[in-house]
Amino acid sequence: MFLTAPQPQAPAAAPPSPSMSMRQPAMTAAQQMPSSPHATMTELLVVGHLPVRAGLWLVPYADLLARQMGTVCLVRLDSQEPTLQLLRAPESMATAPLRMSLQQTIAHLANCVDVWMLRGSEGLSANDAIDCGTDRITILSSADEAAVVAAYQTIKELAQAAEHPNRSLPAIGMAMVGCDADAAAAVIDRLCRTSLSFLGVEVKLVALLPRMDAGIKCTRYVTFGAEASPSALTVSQWLQQAKAQERTAAPAAMAPPILETAMPEQPAVIGRIAPPPETFVHDARRILRAPSHEYAEPPAASSSLPPPPAPPPNQSPASRPAPLVTEAERQDLLSAIAPGVSGAKLPPKVVIDLEHKPAPPQRPIIEPDDHGQPIPLAKFVAGLNALPLRPPGHERVEIAVDEHGRLHLLARESNLRELPVVERWAHAHREILAMACPQHRFDPAGATICHVFSAEPATLADLHGSNLRLHVLAPVTLDDRTAWYAAPLNIVG
């Protein structure tokens, strides 16, 4: 569904921001004229909810920016070993020697890269994302409801992290993938309105990729398997150093500048010539793995850049809970994509006539019980003690407490939408709960932890990576006897 059509067209990009320096699309040697030096851009990629495998969209997005701005270097730290990919780089870079460490390679490429892209490790905190100091943080997202809410959650976390005096929020961009232009425009319009209203943060559309081009090939792909994966903050400092270097001369170890023979009526053009927009330079033999014995580990660099700011006291990423998306924010967001809200109009859906067959009879919903008495969900989570009370109006949500005094809310998947409401109620009535259950210990400053149980783990796949603790709880029948299987699906710090 998301691969290129038989006759692909170049993906569309949003118009660049006036405040951001952008390179014009690459031209042929006969058309290119000498231009003044321009500023190199650094960008941090945050991958949100994307269709199919999320990592498959990074290279198409990088190639789209390379069409607009010139050579793009994508540095990825989201796998077991760091990798570096060059897109739409000069022909000389396809065979240039790059058997160096990641830091040395970044410094070596400083004179030929127009955009540095950094994809941090999985679970990069909002504080570290702000401390990277990139020119822009771009969120890759699709247009469905879960993706839009998750993107707003990320923006809210970044805005909260930027409230520290030593931090400032960079430009926030959205790259919409797997959707058409109308759906992307509606989502960006509502997302920008909501973020401006509640957070004071402007969000702009920087790219639109309805489909991924399976034929995109990078100019160079380098892996650093013998090197320990550095942190995103460390790599961002290397990128800032490379960005600050002079870009008037080619690197010493690279091929000399290409001299293009111009037409008789035009002057000769000397300098780095980018390949035409539809030309891909790729050879499987050029995929290089840098061995450890061919380079020396660089000494402790005396960087002129200041060290990243330390987190504020008592506000470390582990102790500071991520801000929750309130119900008002959620309704304001989804009004652009939910039918019948705020007059939003959706394109008609494709209707296919199918043969209707009677659905198989549904099995009755079974709840775990002990001799006819219901078993609370807290029994299936180690270390929890169920409290003998329920929140008013939301009796299907259970309340428990652990040995540290932290409150836990437990609910089935069908009651997932009630958890934010009960969480606010429990926080406001924490002292009353402590007086009602004096036999249990309560931590007045502890965070409330939410658990969701489902008999079908696949239905909770889009909630992995959130603050919710997910569990499977399903009946197992053997010899006409029913037992219950329970296990955690994710681990939340």
**Predicted confidence (pLDDT) per residue in 299-323, tens digit:** 444 445 555 555 555 454 444 555 6
Q: Do both 269 and 372 map to the same domain? A: no
> Confidence band (pLDDT; 50, 70, 90) for 261?
very low
Helix H or strand E encompassing 394: none
Give the lowest-confidence range in 154-158, 204-208, 420-424, 459-463. Answer: 459-463
Q: Which residue has the higher pLDDT, 267 or 488?
A: 488
- Domain boundary (294, 317, 336) is at 294
Which CA distances in Å does 383 have to 122, 197, 262, 374, 386? 28, 41, 76, 19, 10
CA distance 235 to 129: 12
Segment 366-375 shows an average pLDDT of 73
CA distance 100 to 276: 29
Q: What is the pLDDT of residue 133?
A: 92
What separation, in Å, do the N-terminal and C-terminal C-alpha atoms of the chain show?
Answer: 36
In the DSSP assignment, the letter for residue 292 is: G
Residue 121 has pLDDT above 50, yes or no: yes
Give helix 145-161 / helix 327-334 axis angle, nearest 10°: 130
Residue whose C-alpha is closest to residue 50's, from 185, 140, 180: 140
Q: Do both 73 and 222 map to the same domain? A: yes
CA distance 252 to 249: 9
Segment 62-78 shows an average pLDDT of 91
Residue 8 has pLDDT above 70, yes or no: no
Supply the range of the domain harboring residue 450: 368-488
**31, part of any domain:** no
- Domain boundary (259, 294, 329) is at 294
**25, part of any domain:** no
Beta carbons of 151 and 337 less than 8 angstroms apart: no
Question: Residue 177, class by beta-carbon neighbours within 10 Å (0-12 exposed, 13-18 middle, 19+ buried)?
Answer: buried
- The 3-state DSSP class for residue 3 equals strand
Beta carbons of 184 and 176 less than 8 angstroms apart: yes
CA distance 133 to 493: 26
Residue 321 structure tokens: 């809970």
Beta strands in 120-255 (DSSP E): 136-141, 171-177, 203-209, 220-223
CA distance 232 to 131: 9
Q: In percent, how much of the chain has pLDDT > 70?
A: 69
Residues 6+ apart with CB under 8 A from 89: 71, 112, 113, 219, 220, 281
CA distance 148 to 174: 11
Residue 382 has pLDDT above 50, yes or no: yes
Residues 6+ apart with CB under 8 A from 210: 11, 177, 178, 179, 180, 181
Give the lowest-confidence range in 27-31, 236-240, 360-364. Answer: 27-31
Segment 408-431 shows an average pLDDT of 92
Q: How many domains does the chain have?
A: 2
* Residue 483 CA from chain centroid, whole number: 39
Q: What is the pLDDT of residue 343?
A: 41
Residue 25 has pLDDT above 50, yes or no: no
Q: Do both 204 and 89 map to the same domain? A: yes
CA distance 214 to 148: 26
Segment 187-211 shows an average pLDDT of 91
Work out whether strand 269-271 and strand 258-260 pair parallel, antiparallel, or are unpaired. antiparallel
- The 3-state DSSP class for residue 242 equals helix
**270, part of any domain:** yes
**14, part of any domain:** no
Amino acid at position 21, single letter: S
Question: Residue 486, class by beta-carbon neighbours within 10 Å (0-12 exposed, 13-18 middle, 19+ buried)?
Answer: middle
CATH classification at residue 279:
3.40.50
Residues 6+ apart with CB under 8 A from 39: 21
* Residue 261 CA from chain centroid, whole number: 45
Q: Do both 48 and 137 map to the same domain? A: yes
Rg of the chain taking only CA atoms, in angstroms = 27
- The 3-state DSSP class for residue 140 equals strand
Average confidence score pLDDT of the chain? 75
Q: Which residue has the higher pLDDT, 157 or 226?
A: 157
Residue 237 has pLDDT above 70, yes or no: yes
Q: Do both 255 and 401 map to the same domain? A: no
- Domain boundary (254, 271, 294) is at 294
**Predicted confidence (pLDDT) per residue in 81-100, tens digit:** 899 999 999 888 888 877 78
**35, part of any domain:** no
